[in-house]
RNA sequence: GCGCCCUUAGCUCAGUGGAUUAGAGCGUCUGUCUUCGGAACAGAAAGUCGUAGGUUCGAAUCCUACAGGGCGCACCA
């Protein structure tokens, strides 16, 4: 495969390739219609069903318009023929197949078929596929900020989606534990404790460690800018830290401080992930561990893939329309490029993945292309397994109004704290942490992955409208009905209008998830769940369940709805308590 | 300077080749209900889909140019 094909624009790579679905009403109807086209016109066309406005039907297709050109007949004529054939072929599955100008085909499912297609059984489109997900990726010795919160939540949900589609997911976390930021931090630490006395670290209580280390970093960074002596010292510490790894130094004063503070960082990350209720990582890849494998790869391909230029080792990406980037500096130090190659190969060894999905900020788009291009020149197969997704920058405030409570503060813990406090003040006494998490996660996840996000604290904390808490409430409400009604339920034979609208929406669930999985876009699920809850709330407003003649039937619908909403919330990592 | 991304209602965003009125939420205005949990529901006002061309039976969606905004362009990560 030529290198260029790996550099295709995201809009193309998003297209799903795997079309071997096994079940589902949509797939069944598509196959049947393709069969009709084959029989009538001897034409092979991919039939794609869409969900039109309910008044037109349950599914629609423009296949007749596509066929018109091939067959050289008016689309209307083709549509009429297809409709007649489809009715005959699909029998009891559809109650109506109609044609609309200029040649759209609309299908309406029979109530029976509609009811049977309400399912939370998902398509296993990635059965057995090994997918490595790399996300979150915070630097040790620093605090987690809002960007980390976003990428962590997004990555976690992509993992859930992939797992739901049958994939075996490996969650990897690649973060910097060497480099200038570490040296700055260590400098600050040493200043704070008055020398290279690792024993003094014992005095720092566990709970305040993250902030303490962070403060040391800030002090170190300031000294680096303002004080020449400090700057020289920090530069020296920087190379010492590399030495701690090379010589496996665990005993000298500064080395001890380094290892202890590094461990504190990893503890802090793990606590944080637990706190925001995301799946734990399978493995951490500290940057220091990727230097050796990365350098080995670069050295091996020097002269072929990489070339010397001004004393540095570079990959010349210019010919492919990319940037030329340095992999090893003229001082012989590996750059992030080399470390990235190192982690790619190490992960491949550890997990033997079929696909690797990396999620980073969108400022790394062009950079990653260069790394992948270099990788492609080394190992085409491995390069073909790489996917780079980006999450946008989190902006605060919306337009004119900045949030007075958050200002520009972007620490992840502050965001959580602020949302939690706001909820607590609005609704004292109840358990609002679950609600706070739902609010935050949903705020991030409802947007299409890739674009920047305006994080408006007031909006995300809102319990109304298109929000996580609205969905949780909509779920708890349905569960409450079910509790009150007891375990009864009945059979669904025919549906009234409001019931049918709800059933129709429920039946879309698996299709929406398929799409979210195929495109690795969680927001489709969020949008769907909100629409589902909205439709239920309308139904609920207009239709009595308990005590109604149709109680038994409606309870089945409520049950299906609650299960579907719960399954969907679970997929996007949001809790669905039965009571709030 | 070169490259990539973005621009849809007052604000925040869905929609990315299909159909009569381009959809939501928030905000604004007006209602519903002696509530199977009101964190609800119904309705109204609000849009030349950045601008100008082009391709197509059909364009917010594809192409070109321009404008505005963001990001990236060798020894940082």
Q: What is the pLDDT of residue A2?
A: 32
Give SS3 for A117.
Answer: coil
A445, two tokens: 């996840």
Q: What is the pLDDT of residue A296?
A: 97
Q: What is the pLDDT of residue A429?
A: 67
d(CA A6, CA A147): 27
Strand B bases with any atom < 7 A from protein Cβ: 3-6, 11-16, 18-20, 24-27, 36-42, 57-58, 62, 70-77
Cα dihedral A344→A350→A353→A356 (10° resolution) = -30
- Minimum CA–C1' distance nucleotide for A431: B39
Q: What is the mean pLDDT of residues A355-373?
A: 95
In this prediction, residue A406 has a pLDDT band, given cuts at 50, 70 and 90, of very low
- Output A371 or A421, whichever has higher pLDDT: A371
A547, two tokens: 């005590």
Cα distances (angstroms) measured from residue A382 to each of A3, A123, A348, A374: 12, 27, 8, 11
Nearest residue: Cα versus C1' of B58: A102
Buried-state track A119-146, b at ≥16 Cβ within 10 A, e below 16? bbebbebbeebbbbbbbbbbbbbbbbbb
Q: Does residue A404 carry a pLDDT above 80?
A: no
Q: What is the pLDDT of residue A488?
A: 64
Q: Does residue A486 carry a pLDDT above 50?
A: yes
A256, two tokens: 């001890």
| Each residue's pLDDT tens digit, A112-132 | 999 999 999 999 999 999 999
Q: What is the pLDDT of residue A410?
A: 77
Q: Does residue A405 carry a pLDDT above 50?
A: no
Q: What is the pLDDT of residue A101?
A: 81
Q: What is the pLDDT of residue A12?
A: 26
Distance in Å from B25's C1' to A466's CA comes to 5
First and final C-alpha spacing in chain A: 54
Nearest residue: Cα versus C1' of B57: A102
- Output A414 or A517, whichever has higher pLDDT: A517
- Minimum CA–C1' distance nucleotide for A326: B74
Strand A312-315, strand A355-361: pairing: unpaired
A578: how many CB neighbours lie within 10 A of its CB? Answer: 13
d(CA A418, CA A462): 13
Beta carbons of A137 and A340 less than 8 angstroms apart: no
- Minimum CA–C1' distance nucleotide for A361: B71
Q: Does residue A3 carry a pLDDT above 50?
A: no
Cα dihedral A119→A521→A413→A363 (10° resolution) = 170
Helices (H), A247-302: 253-275, 288-300
Q: Does residue A43 carry a pLDDT above 90?
A: no
Q: What is the pLDDT of residue A464?
A: 86
A434, two tokens: 């679950």
Distance in Å from B14's C1' to A52's CA comes to 16
Q: Does residue A527 carry a pLDDT above 50?
A: yes
Q: What is the pLDDT of residue A16?
A: 33
Q: What is the mean pLDDT of residues A387-398?
A: 84
- Output A282 or A45, whichever has higher pLDDT: A282
**Taking all residues of chain A, what is their mean pLDDT, rounded to a whole number?**
89
- Minimum CA–C1' distance nucleotide for A519: B16
The rounded percent of chain A whose pLDDT value lies above 70 is: 93
Distance in Å from B74's C1' to A311's CA comes to 11
Q: Does residue A402 carry a pLDDT above 60?
A: no
The rounded percent of chain A whose pLDDT value lies above 90 is: 71
Q: Does residue A5 carry a pLDDT above 70?
A: no
Q: What is the pLDDT of residue A494?
A: 86
The neighbouring-strand residues paired with A169 are A131
Q: What is the mean pLDDT of residues A444-464?
A: 86
d(CA A398, CA A357): 31
CA atoms lying within 13 Å on the CB side of residue A27? 14
d(CA A430, CA A423): 9
Q: Tokens 């605060």 identify what position?
A: A396
Beta carbons of A110 and A95 less than 8 angstroms apart: yes
d(CA A250, CA A245): 9
Beta carbons of A532 and A506 less than 8 angstroms apart: yes
Q: Does residue A10 carry a pLDDT above 50?
A: no
Q: Does residue A407 carry a pLDDT above 50?
A: no
In this prediction, residue A1 has a pLDDT band, given cuts at 50, 70 and 90, of very low
Whether pTM exceeds 0.95: no
The CA R_g of chain A, rounded to the nearest whole Å, is: 28
Q: Tokens 């349950």 identify what position?
A: A58
* H or E element that contains A310: none
| Each residue's pLDDT tens digit, A221-266 | 899 988 999 999 999 999 899 999 999 999 999 999 999 999 999 9
d(CA A108, CA A223): 71
A208: how many CB neighbours lie within 10 A of its CB? Answer: 10
Q: Is A58 left (phi over 0), alpha (psi -120 to 50) or beta?
A: alpha
d(CA A76, CA A82): 10
Distance in Å from B62's C1' to A82's CA comes to 29
Q: Does residue A6 carry a pLDDT above 60?
A: no
Going by C-alpha positions, the residue among A67, A72, A64, A69 that lies closest to residue A101 is A64
In this prediction, residue A134 has a pLDDT band, given cuts at 50, 70 and 90, of very high
d(CA A463, CA A481): 21
The neighbouring-strand residues paired with A390 are A360
Distance in Å from B5's C1' to A107's CA comes to 39
Residues 6+ apart with CB under 8 A from A231: A223, A224, A225
d(CA A284, CA A135): 11
SS (H, E, C) A367-420: HHHHHHHHHHHHCHHHHHCEEEEEECCEEECECCECCCCCCCCCEHHHHHHHHH
Q: Does residue A71 carry a pLDDT above 80?
A: no
- Output A209 or A398, whichever has higher pLDDT: A209
Q: What is the pLDDT of residue A4?
A: 28
Distance in Å from B77's C1' to A337's CA comes to 10
d(CA A428, CA A440): 19
d(CA A60, CA A392): 34
Distance in Å from B14's C1' to A225's CA comes to 45
- Minimum CA–C1' distance nucleotide for A287: B77
- Output A164 or A492, whichever has higher pLDDT: A164
d(CA A539, CA A228): 70
Q: How many residues would you count in chain A?
A: 580
d(CA A407, CA A349): 44
Q: Does residue A8 carry a pLDDT above 70?
A: no
């Amino acid at each position: 495969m030529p290198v260029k094909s790996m550099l295709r624009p995201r809009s193309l790579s998003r297209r799903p390739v795997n079309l071997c679905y096994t079940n589902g009403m949509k797939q069944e109807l598509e196959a049947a219609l393709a069969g009709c086209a084959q029989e009538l016109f001897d034409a092979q066309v991919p039939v794609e069903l869409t969900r039109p406005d309910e008044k037109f039907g349950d599914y629609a297709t423009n296949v007749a318009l596509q066929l018109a050109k091939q067959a050289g007949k008016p689309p209307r004529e083709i549509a009429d023929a297809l409709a007649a054939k489809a009715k005959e072929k699909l029998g009891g599955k559809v109650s109506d197949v109609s044609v609309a100008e200029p040649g759209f085909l609309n299908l309406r499912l029979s109530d029976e078929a509609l009811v049977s297609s309400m399912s939370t059984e998902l398509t296993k489109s990635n059965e057995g596929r090994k997918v490595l997900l790399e996300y979150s990726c915070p630097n040790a010795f620093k605090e987690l900020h809002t960007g980390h919160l976003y990428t962590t939540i997004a990555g976690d949900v992509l993992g859930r989606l992939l797992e739901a589609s049958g994939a075996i997911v490996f969650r990897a976390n690649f973060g910097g534990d060497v480099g200038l930021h570490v040296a700055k931090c260590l400098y600050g630490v040493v200043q704070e404790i008055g020398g290279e006395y690792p024993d003094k670290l014992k005095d720092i209580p566990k709970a305040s460690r993250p902030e303490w280390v962070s403060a040391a970093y800030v002090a170190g960074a300031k000294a680096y800018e303002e004080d020449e002596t400090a700057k020289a010292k920090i530069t020296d510490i920087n190379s010492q830290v590399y030495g701690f790894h090379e010589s496996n130094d665990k005993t000298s004063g500064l080395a001890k401080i380094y290892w202890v503070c590094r461990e504190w960082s990893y503890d802090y990350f793990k606590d944080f992930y637990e706190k925001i209720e995301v799946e734990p990582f399978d493995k951490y890849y500290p940057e220091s561990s990727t230097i050796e494998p990365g350098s080995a790869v670069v050295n091996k391909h020097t002269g072929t893939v990489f070339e010397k230029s001004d004393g540095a080792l570079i990959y010349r990406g210019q010919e492919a329309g990319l940037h030329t980037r340095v992999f090893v500096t003229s001082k012989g130090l590996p750059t992030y490029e080399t470390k990235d190659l190192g982690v790619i190969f190490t992960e491949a060894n550890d997990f033997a993945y079929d696909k690797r999905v990396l999620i980073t900020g969108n400022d790394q788009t062009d950079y990653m292309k260069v790394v992948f291009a270099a990788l492609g020149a080394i190992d085409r197969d491995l390069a073909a397994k790489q996917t780079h997704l980006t999450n946008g920058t989190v902006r605060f405030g919306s337009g004119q109004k900045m949030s007075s409570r958050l200002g520009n503060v972007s620490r992840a813990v502050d965001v959580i704290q602020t949302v939690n406090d706001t909820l607590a003040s609005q609704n004292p006494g109840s358990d609002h942490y679950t609600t706070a998490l739902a609010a935050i996660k949903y705020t991030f996840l409802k947007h299409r992955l890739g674009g920047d996000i305006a994080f408006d604290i007031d909006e995300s904390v809102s319990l109304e409208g298109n929000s996580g808490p609205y969905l949780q409430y909509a779920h708890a409400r349905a569960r409450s009905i079910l509790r009150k009604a007891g375990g009864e339920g009945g059979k669904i034979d025919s549906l009234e209008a409001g019931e049918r609208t709800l059933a129709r929406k429920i039946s879309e669930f698996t299709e929406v998830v398929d799409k979210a999985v195929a495109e690795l876009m969680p927001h489709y699920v969020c949008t769907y769940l909100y629409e589902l809850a909205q439709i239920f709330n309308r139904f609920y407003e207009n239709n009595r369940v308990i005590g109604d003649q149709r109680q038994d039937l409606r309870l089945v619908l409520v049950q299906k709805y609650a299960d579907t909403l719960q399954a969907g919330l679970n997929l996007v990592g949001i809790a669905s308590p039965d009571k709030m």
